[in-house]
Amino acid sequence: MRLLSFLLLCRLGRTITMATEIPLYREPAETAPTDPIDRVIRYHVQTKHHFNRYARSLGHLDWASQPDPFRRFGGSELISLPLLKPDEEPLSPPYDAIYERGAVVAKAVTLPALSRFLEFSLALSAWKKAGDMQWALRSNPSSGNLHPTEGYLVLPQLDGLDLKAGLYHYAPKEHGLEFRAEFPAGQVARLLAPFPQDSFLFGLTSVHWREAWKYGERAFRYCNHDVGHAIGTARIAAATLGWNMALLDGMSQETVAMLLGTDRTDDFADAEPEHPDCLAVVWPLGEVKCDTESAIPLLLDPEISRKLVATSWHGKANRLSREHGVHWDIIDEAAEASWKLSDERLSAAGSRAYANDASRETYDAGSSAGQLIRQRRSAVSFDGKTSITIATFFRMLGRVMPSAELSQPDRPMPWDVLPWKPAIHLLLFVHRVDGLTPGLYVLVRDREKSPLLQQSMNEELIWTPVPGCPDTLPLYWLLEGDAKKAAIQISCHQDIAGDSAFSLGMIAEFEGRLREGGAWWYPRLFWEAGLLGQVLYLEAEAAGVRGTGIGCFFDDPVHEIVGIKGRSFQSLYHFTVGGPVEDERLMTLPAYHHLSR
């Protein structure tokens, strides 16, 4: 068998020396494509990093225009959420229990429960301090810690929840809800009538400017990764409360915009706009019956939504940057081209009914989910020696398997949140996994796709099933050898990709999905990638190691390693897991030390 070190280094070496043969960036042709799918593909191609040229950005940080990471709606009422200690109700279950259906008894939707939900999904998790500089970290990670994602709740009038029906914006720094609009309670009840009892809505939007300020044209990708991570933190937060969550992916984006108020130009007059990404329904799990008769619709009635928003609104969005430097039009073009124009009659029907089983609920075994969520951080560097066991490796990979053959509600948490079949497979660079030969591996997250993936890769790859691997894991060994240097090189020369136990590229079914489904699939591929990253972040913490998302990688050199040609598959996101090295120069402060309540 050819050694990976030899093969990869030859390939990478060749690519580096062939750098001038990579087509140099050209200004977009005057006749830009009009077909939305061609437009998103053009965005994707234009925002690739190459060995000899990064995607366009300012190239330096313009501190004068640095965006405020905290959006507020001035003039709206702020309702403080209780700042709960870990040992206050609702308590967090053991981490493993959140993956076991029915093991966490559903909590009632109360203010403390909503507080926990938001704490685990979007709240501050710590402050870091170096000299005079101080910055907040959150439960959801974000490329460059820029946090383009904003969160919203649409709440009905509920017994035990002393809040009016309406739209609320989550203010993470204050851990409070800003009351954007009061919706007539009867209309909200009508809107939510097709869903299980006590359902409410969770929405996400993105301020593209926050990421574009630093990352330029590639920022639309990063914003969508961040949305995927936030879908993940919210789905997992819901699971800690015994709640379920499903993306309302059948909705047109216009209705999402209307319900979240991002189309209210007057409210954003002087402020950076928010792009409406998605809405999800959240409900206490005990109420669900996932049989075909009571399928959950994955959209909201647009007519009721329209009536709902004809109300009085409160607050004006704050301006996040005093000045704005370069505006990257291509981001607006990608956002417009991938806009979902119409409703789709999607629904989620499963085959089994699930009930909570109070007798299985325990709170004393293993690390609590909350503890791992609070301690989650990105490693800034790895020690280059920590290894993980093969059992830990298999366990982690098991968590990212969505059981593609099952219908949506029957899939394991958090994969039950997405209504689509998985589109992403993992190309793994194994460096330090005890019991596993270092080299290149592939995890096919949907078994049906093995032939397609195999055909799209180089014929020299061996595709040997990994000995001792659980049957549920379609994990194949492609090449043996030392992949550390290659992993670092393709990850924009970041050592974190090679000093870890393993790193990986998320290889997405790309052009086929877009041509089949529409341009609006483009952001969804990044959402799935972000969700994958979020699962790995927590799995790494559970295993006593640490993870880091990697948005900076050289796109086509990744493809070249396994011989992927064309655009049927594209790598969309990378991730690395290993033994972290702390930056001792940084001080850590508690998440809400600035609030003296």
Ligand X SMILES: Cc1cc2nc3c(=O)[nH]c(=O)nc-3n(C[C@H](O)[C@H](O)[C@H](O)COP(=O)(O)O)c2cc1C
**Which parts of this chain interact with ligand X (CB under 6 A)?**
137, 141-145, 222, 225-226, 229, 377-378, 494, 496, 548-552
For the bound state, the minimum distance from the C-beta of residue 235 to ligand X, rounded and expressed in Å, comes to 16
For the bound state, the minimum distance from the C-beta of residue 123 to ligand X, rounded and expressed in Å, comes to 12
For the bound state, the minimum distance from the C-beta of residue 378 to ligand X, rounded and expressed in Å, comes to 3
For the bound state, the minimum distance from the C-beta of residue 97 to ligand X, rounded and expressed in Å, comes to 24
For the bound state, the minimum distance from the C-beta of residue 581 to ligand X, rounded and expressed in Å, comes to 13
Task: State which residue, 427 or 496, has the beta carbon closest to ligand X.
Answer: 496
Task: State which residue, 181 or 488, has the beta carbon closest to ligand X.
Answer: 488
For the purposes of burial, counting CB atoms within 10 Å of the CB of 516, is it exposed (0-12), middle (13-18) or buried (19 or more)? exposed
Q: Cis bond leading into 419, ω under 30°? A: no
Task: State which residue, 473 or 525, has the beta carbon closest to ligand X.
Answer: 525
Task: State which residue, 376 or 559, has the beta carbon closest to ligand X.
Answer: 376
For the bound state, the minimum distance from the C-beta of residue 494 to ligand X, rounded and expressed in Å, comes to 6
Per residue, the 3-state secondary structure of 485-554, as one string, reads HHHHHHCCCCHHHCCCCEEEEEEEECHHHHHHHCCCHHHHHHHHHHHHHHHHHHHHHHCCCEEEEECCCE
Q: How many CB atoms lie within 10 A of CB 222?
A: 28
Q: With H, G, I as helix, E, B as strand and everything else as coil, classify residue 468.
A: coil
For the bound state, the minimum distance from the C-beta of residue 530 to ligand X, rounded and expressed in Å, comes to 6
For the bound state, the minimum distance from the C-beta of residue 561 to ligand X, rounded and expressed in Å, comes to 18
Q: With H, G, I as helix, E, B as strand and everything else as coil, classify residue 595.
A: coil
- 158 has which bridge partners? 161
The structure tokens listed for 245 are: 């969550």
Q: How many residues does the chain have?
A: 597
What are the two backbone dihedrals, phi and then psi, of residue 281, each rounded to the nearest 5 degrees? -100, 140
Task: State which residue, 209 or 476, has the beta carbon closest to ligand X.
Answer: 209
Helix (H) or strand (E) holding 427: strand 424-430
The span from the CA of 475 to the CA of 445, in Å, is: 9
For the purposes of burial, counting CB atoms within 10 Å of the CB of 36, is it exposed (0-12), middle (13-18) or buried (19 or more)? buried
CA atoms within 13 A on the CB side of 314: 16
Task: State which residue, 168 or 592, has the beta carbon closest to ligand X.
Answer: 592
Shortest CA distance to 429 belongs to which of 482, 496, 388?
482
For the bound state, the minimum distance from the C-beta of residue 124 to ligand X, rounded and expressed in Å, comes to 10
The span from the CA of 306 to the CA of 420, in Å, is: 27
Task: State which residue, 550 or 591, has the beta carbon closest to ligand X.
Answer: 550
Under 8 Å CB-to-CB from 544, ≥6 apart: which residues?
none
The span from the CA of 166 to the CA of 175, in Å, is: 18
What are the two backbone dihedrals, phi and then psi, of residue 180, each rounded to the nearest 5 degrees? -80, -40
CB 98 within 8 A of CB 303: no
The span from the CA of 479 to the CA of 461, in Å, is: 6
The span from the CA of 162 to the CA of 308, in Å, is: 20
The structure tokens listed for 291 are: 């049989």
For the bound state, the minimum distance from the C-beta of residue 588 to ligand X, rounded and expressed in Å, comes to 11
For the bound state, the minimum distance from the C-beta of residue 140 to ligand X, rounded and expressed in Å, comes to 8
C-alpha distances in angstroms, 380 versus 176, 270, 549? 30, 36, 10
Amino acid identity at 222 = Y
Helix (H) or strand (E) holding 428: strand 424-430
Task: State which residue, 55 or 137, has the beta carbon closest to ligand X.
Answer: 137
Task: State which residue, 145 or 450, has the beta carbon closest to ligand X.
Answer: 145
Q: Scanning the structure block, which residue is given the tokens 């894991």? A: 473
For the bound state, the minimum distance from the C-beta of residue 485 to ligand X, rounded and expressed in Å, comes to 18
Task: State which residue, 226 or 263, has the beta carbon closest to ligand X.
Answer: 226
Task: State which residue, 65 or 145, has the beta carbon closest to ligand X.
Answer: 145
Task: State which residue, 191 or 488, has the beta carbon closest to ligand X.
Answer: 488
